[in-house]
Amino acid sequence: MIKNIGLIVNPIAGMGGKVGLKGTDGEENLIKAIKKGAVKESPQKTIRTLKNIKEIKDKIRIYTYSGKMGEDECLEAELNCIVLKEVGQSTYSKDTYQVAQELLSRGVDLIVFSGGDGTARDIYDVVKDNIPVIGIPAGVKIHSAVFANNPENAALIIKDFVEEKSILMEEREIIDIDEKDLKNDKL
Protein backbone atom coordinates (compact mmCIF):
# COMPACT_ATOMS: atom_id res chain seq x y z
CA MET A 1 0.00 0.00 0.00
CA ILE A 2 1.31 3.45 -0.94
CA LYS A 3 1.83 5.87 1.95
CA ASN A 4 1.24 9.55 1.32
CA ILE A 5 3.93 11.69 2.89
CA GLY A 6 3.84 15.44 3.22
CA LEU A 7 7.20 17.20 3.11
CA ILE A 8 7.73 20.70 4.47
CA VAL A 9 11.16 22.33 4.33
CA ASN A 10 11.93 25.58 6.10
CA PRO A 11 14.89 26.57 3.91
CA ILE A 12 16.22 29.20 6.32
CA ALA A 13 16.06 27.09 9.48
CA GLY A 14 19.38 26.85 11.26
CA MET A 15 21.07 29.70 9.43
CA GLY A 16 21.58 31.72 12.59
CA GLY A 17 23.35 29.04 14.61
CA LYS A 18 26.82 29.08 13.11
CA VAL A 19 26.90 32.88 13.09
CA GLY A 20 26.03 33.25 16.77
CA LEU A 21 22.31 34.01 16.51
CA LYS A 22 19.59 32.09 18.28
CA GLY A 23 17.61 31.27 15.18
CA THR A 24 16.28 33.01 12.13
CA ASP A 25 12.83 33.88 13.45
CA GLY A 26 11.71 37.11 11.85
CA GLU A 27 13.03 39.08 8.90
CA GLU A 28 15.44 41.08 11.06
CA ASN A 29 17.27 37.97 12.33
CA LEU A 30 17.39 36.49 8.83
CA ILE A 31 19.02 39.66 7.47
CA LYS A 32 21.53 39.63 10.35
CA ALA A 33 22.36 35.98 9.66
CA ILE A 34 22.91 36.60 5.95
CA LYS A 35 25.12 39.63 6.67
CA LYS A 36 27.22 37.47 8.99
CA GLY A 37 27.72 34.90 6.21
CA ALA A 38 25.15 32.28 7.19
CA VAL A 39 24.40 29.54 4.68
CA LYS A 40 21.28 27.42 4.29
CA GLU A 41 21.63 24.09 6.07
CA SER A 42 18.08 22.79 6.18
CA PRO A 43 17.97 21.81 2.47
CA GLN A 44 21.12 19.68 2.81
CA LYS A 45 19.82 17.93 5.94
CA THR A 46 16.56 17.20 4.13
CA ILE A 47 18.45 15.74 1.17
CA ARG A 48 20.42 13.49 3.55
CA THR A 49 17.15 12.15 4.91
CA LEU A 50 15.54 11.70 1.50
CA LYS A 51 18.56 9.89 0.03
CA ASN A 52 18.23 7.38 2.85
CA ILE A 53 14.62 6.53 1.94
CA LYS A 54 15.23 5.92 -1.78
CA GLU A 55 14.88 2.16 -1.25
CA ILE A 56 11.19 2.65 -0.38
CA LYS A 57 10.42 5.15 -3.16
CA ASP A 58 7.92 2.76 -4.76
CA LYS A 59 5.97 2.64 -1.49
CA ILE A 60 5.54 6.41 -1.03
CA ARG A 61 3.98 9.43 -2.66
CA ILE A 62 5.50 12.74 -1.54
CA TYR A 63 3.45 15.96 -1.53
CA THR A 64 5.28 19.26 -1.10
CA TYR A 65 5.63 22.86 -2.27
CA SER A 66 7.93 24.11 -5.02
CA GLY A 67 11.58 25.06 -4.85
CA LYS A 68 13.41 24.97 -1.54
CA MET A 69 10.25 24.07 0.39
CA GLY A 70 10.63 20.45 -0.75
CA GLU A 71 10.67 20.05 -4.53
CA ASP A 72 14.37 20.86 -4.97
CA GLU A 73 15.35 18.46 -2.19
CA CYS A 74 13.28 15.65 -3.71
CA LEU A 75 14.87 16.22 -7.12
CA GLU A 76 18.38 16.23 -5.61
CA ALA A 77 17.61 12.95 -3.81
CA GLU A 78 16.14 11.49 -7.03
CA LEU A 79 12.66 11.08 -5.57
CA ASN A 80 9.44 11.98 -7.36
CA CYS A 81 7.10 14.43 -5.70
CA ILE A 82 3.79 16.11 -6.33
CA VAL A 83 4.09 19.90 -6.12
CA LEU A 84 0.98 21.37 -4.57
CA LYS A 85 1.80 25.04 -5.00
CA GLU A 86 4.46 27.32 -6.42
CA VAL A 87 6.15 29.61 -3.90
CA GLY A 88 8.53 32.51 -4.41
CA GLN A 89 12.25 32.68 -3.67
CA SER A 90 11.56 33.90 -0.14
CA THR A 91 9.37 31.77 2.08
CA TYR A 92 7.67 32.66 5.32
CA SER A 93 5.88 30.94 8.18
CA LYS A 94 2.59 31.63 6.34
CA ASP A 95 3.84 29.26 3.63
CA THR A 96 4.44 26.58 6.28
CA TYR A 97 0.89 27.11 7.57
CA GLN A 98 -0.53 26.85 4.04
CA VAL A 99 1.29 23.66 3.11
CA ALA A 100 0.38 22.10 6.47
CA GLN A 101 -3.29 22.97 5.88
CA GLU A 102 -3.18 21.48 2.39
CA LEU A 103 -1.48 18.30 3.63
CA LEU A 104 -4.09 17.97 6.36
CA SER A 105 -6.93 18.39 3.86
CA ARG A 106 -5.36 15.78 1.55
CA GLY A 107 -5.22 13.28 4.39
CA VAL A 108 -1.53 12.45 4.16
CA ASP A 109 -0.36 9.60 6.37
CA LEU A 110 2.73 11.35 7.74
CA ILE A 111 4.26 14.83 7.70
CA VAL A 112 8.03 15.09 7.56
CA PHE A 113 9.47 18.54 8.10
CA SER A 114 12.90 20.08 8.21
CA GLY A 115 13.36 23.02 10.54
CA GLY A 116 13.51 23.97 14.18
CA ASP A 117 11.11 24.55 17.04
CA GLY A 118 9.44 27.51 15.29
CA THR A 119 8.64 25.34 12.28
CA ALA A 120 7.37 22.57 14.58
CA ARG A 121 5.10 25.09 16.33
CA ASP A 122 3.75 26.41 13.03
CA ILE A 123 2.91 22.90 11.82
CA TYR A 124 1.33 21.91 15.14
CA ASP A 125 -0.83 25.04 15.11
CA VAL A 126 -2.45 23.62 11.96
CA VAL A 127 -2.45 19.83 12.26
CA LYS A 128 -2.60 19.41 16.07
CA ASP A 129 -2.49 15.64 16.69
CA ASN A 130 -4.41 14.67 13.55
CA ILE A 131 -1.36 13.44 11.59
CA PRO A 132 1.88 11.84 12.80
CA VAL A 133 4.79 14.27 12.38
CA ILE A 134 8.56 13.70 12.40
CA GLY A 135 11.12 16.49 12.35
CA ILE A 136 14.49 16.52 10.64
CA PRO A 137 16.59 18.59 13.03
CA ALA A 138 17.78 21.60 11.06
CA GLY A 139 17.10 24.63 13.22
CA VAL A 140 19.06 26.34 15.95
CA LYS A 141 16.40 25.67 18.58
CA ILE A 142 15.75 21.93 18.83
CA HIS A 143 14.01 21.48 22.18
CA SER A 144 10.88 19.65 21.01
CA ALA A 145 10.47 15.89 21.20
CA VAL A 146 9.16 15.72 17.63
CA PHE A 147 12.70 15.63 16.16
CA ALA A 148 14.78 12.62 15.22
CA ASN A 149 18.36 12.73 16.53
CA ASN A 150 19.75 13.38 13.05
CA PRO A 151 18.69 13.20 9.37
CA GLU A 152 19.66 9.53 9.05
CA ASN A 153 17.55 8.55 12.06
CA ALA A 154 14.64 10.51 10.60
CA ALA A 155 14.96 8.31 7.50
CA LEU A 156 14.89 5.16 9.63
CA ILE A 157 11.69 6.32 11.34
CA ILE A 158 10.09 7.14 7.98
CA LYS A 159 11.01 3.70 6.61
CA ASP A 160 9.62 1.95 9.68
CA PHE A 161 6.39 3.96 9.39
CA VAL A 162 5.99 3.21 5.67
CA GLU A 163 6.78 -0.47 6.14
CA GLU A 164 4.33 -0.54 9.07
CA LYS A 165 6.91 -1.84 11.49
CA SER A 166 6.02 -1.58 15.14
CA ILE A 167 6.93 1.94 16.16
CA LEU A 168 5.83 3.87 19.20
CA MET A 169 3.78 6.94 18.35
CA GLU A 170 2.78 9.25 21.13
CA GLU A 171 1.77 12.84 21.64
CA ARG A 172 4.78 14.94 22.65
CA GLU A 173 5.30 18.56 23.56
CA ILE A 174 6.37 21.28 21.12
CA ILE A 175 8.61 23.83 22.84
CA ASP A 176 9.51 27.09 21.13
CA ILE A 177 11.39 29.56 23.27
CA ASP A 178 10.73 33.21 22.46
CA GLU A 179 14.21 34.73 22.55
CA LYS A 180 12.92 38.27 23.23
CA ASP A 181 11.01 37.03 26.28
CA LEU A 182 13.99 34.98 27.43
CA LYS A 183 16.21 38.07 27.36
CA ASN A 184 13.65 39.73 29.66
CA ASP A 185 13.72 36.74 32.07
CA LYS A 186 10.36 35.39 30.87
CA LEU A 187 10.13 31.78 29.81
Task: Give, for 94, the enclosing helix (H) or strand (E).
Answer: helix 93-106
Q: Which of 45, 42, 17 is nearest to 29 (CA)?
A: 17
Region 53-59: mean pLDDT is: 97
pLDDT digits (tens, 9 = 90+) for 25-39: 666 666 666 676 667
Q: What angle do CA 167, 175, 110 make, to 5 degrees?
A: 35
Q: Over the chain, what is the mean pLDDT?
A: 87
Alpha-carbon distance of 125 to 167, in angstroms, equals 24
pLDDT digits (tens, 9 = 90+) for 59-113: 999 999 999 999 999 999 999 999 999 998 878 788 999 999 999 999 999 999 9
Q: What is the predicted pLDDT for the residue at 58?
A: 97
Domains of the chain: 3-183 (3.40.50)
44-58: b (≥16 Cβ within 10 Å) or e: ebbbbbbbbbeebee
**Predicted TM-score (pTM) of this structure:** 0.89
Q: Which residue has the higher pLDDT, 145 or 5?
A: 5
